[in-house]
Amino acid sequence: MSDDRLEQLDYYTLLGLDEGASVDAIRDAFHRFALKFHPDNHAGASSEKRERATQIYRRGAEAYRVLLEPELRTRYDHGLGHGHLRLRAEETPSAGLRRTNAQPSTKARPFYRKALSALETGDTQTARLNLRIAQGHDPECALLAEKLAELDALP
């Protein structure tokens, strides 16, 4: 076993989460993590400290990607039960390939949530507006297109 503490942490511990954490809890935890370890926050530090912060941040970003993707999280949790603290590199998606178009992007998500809240109160006009804004941020998202089509079909 490595003496490096980072190599001894599972994804949940690294981000400060419980294993049953919700998607929103994962996002919040990663945001806090990024504020502390993002390499830009260590620009004035020694090269050794910058390198270490980058290493920690990359591992946290890996954890974030895996825990947000339901299929990967299931595989990770199974492996964790067998003592594997990380997914193998070939199982971990690259940042550019990880997101499916089934869920809104980070920029579109707040508008999608506002649209859902508006729908709960029966305010279809506000819901439609927020879905269009969300779709402007994430035009490839199938969920946004589907919800907007549903709304447009209403009288």
**Do 23 and 64 have their domain in common?**
yes
CA 43 to chain centre: 25
Condensed to tens digits (0 to 9), the pLDDT of residues 87-106 reads 876 565 554 444 455 778 88
- 154 pLDDT band, cuts 50/70/90, is confident
- Mean pLDDT, range 107-124, rounded to an integer: 92
| Cα radius of gyration (the chain) | 19
Residue 30 and residue 59: Cα distance in Å, rounded? 11
Counting the structural domains of the chain, the total is 2
- 10 pLDDT band, cuts 50/70/90, is very high
Residue 15 lies in a domain: yes
**Do 18 and 81 have their domain in common?**
yes
- Mean pLDDT, range 66-85, rounded to an integer: 90
Residue 109 and residue 115: Cα distance in Å, rounded? 10
Cβ 11 vs Cβ 86: under 8 Å: yes
Q: CB neighbours (10 Å) of residue 83?
A: 7
**Do 138 and 64 have their domain in common?**
no
**Do 74 and 139 have their domain in common?**
no
Q: What is the CATH number of the domain that holds 66?
A: 1.10.287.110
28: amino acid identity, one letter: D
Condensed to tens digits (0 to 9), the pLDDT of residues 40-54 reads 888 888 989 989 999
**Do 67 and 143 have their domain in common?**
no
Q: Which domain holds residue 121?
A: 109-153
Cβ 53 vs Cβ 37: under 8 Å: yes
Does the structure show a pLDDT above 90 at 59? yes
Cβ 5 vs Cβ 24: under 8 Å: no
**Do 132 and 81 have their domain in common?**
no
Does the structure show a pLDDT above 80 at 137? yes
Structure tokens at 29: 């935890």
Tell me the average pLDDT of the chain. 86
Does the structure show a pLDDT above 90 at 24? yes
Of residues 118 and 90, more confidence is placed in: 118
Residue 115 lies in a domain: yes
The sign of the torsion formed by the CA atoms of 35, 39, 44, 47 equals positive
